[in-house]
């Protein structure tokens, strides 16, 4: 009888992609075995957490910009669309098994994940 490894639930790519749906699954994957033992899942979880931090900072900036008529609103919309595009890019790459690193956040995530 061949030595088969039991399935642990989610595949690596599914867990990596799901880590981007809020920071809660990312934290769960970082503290739950066997997900916290896989470098790819840890990388995407950390990048998701850092991306959430960036989104919160951008939200604060948007609230400040909303006091500037028209130009502030336009910049606020551009920030929102940019964050949405970055998030979609990360999710699609994670579900495809690719490690897409964002410029600063990706390096921090790789350092935390040990990649």
- Mind listing the pLDDT tens digit for each residue in 11-42? 999 999 999 998 899 999 999 988 899 999 99
pLDDT of residue 4: 42
pLDDT of residue 16: 93
DSSP 3-state assignment of 98? coil
Q: What is the mean pLDDT of the chain?
A: 89
Q: Which helix (H) or strand (E) covers residue 50, if one does?
A: helix 39-65
pLDDT of residue 1: 43
pLDDT tens, position by position, 5-16:
445 578 999 999
pLDDT of residue 5: 41
Q: What percent of the chain has pLDDT over 70?
A: 93
pLDDT of residue 46: 95
Say what the pTM is: 0.85
Best CA proximity match to 55, nearest among 102, 113, 114: 102
pLDDT at 68 over 90: no
- Rounded Cα distance, 90 and 83, in Å: 11
Q: Which helix (H) or strand (E) covers residue 17, if one does?
A: helix 12-18
pLDDT tens, position by position, 89-103:
999 999 999 989 999
């Amino acid at each position: 009888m061949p030595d088969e490894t039991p399935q642990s639930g989610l595949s690596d790519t599914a867990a990596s992609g799901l880590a981007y749906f809020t920071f809660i699954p990312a934290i769960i994957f970082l503290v739950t075995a066997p997900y916290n033992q896989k470098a790819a899942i840890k990388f995407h979880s950390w990048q998701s957490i850092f991306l959430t931090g960036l989104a919160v900072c951008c939200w604060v900036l948007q609230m400040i910009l909303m006091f500037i008529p028209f130009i502030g609103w336009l910049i606020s919309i551009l920030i929102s669309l940019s964050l949405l595009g970055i998030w979609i890019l990360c999710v699609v790459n994670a579900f495809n098994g690719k490690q897409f690193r964002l410029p600063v956040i990706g390096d921090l995530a790789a350092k935390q994940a040990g990649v």
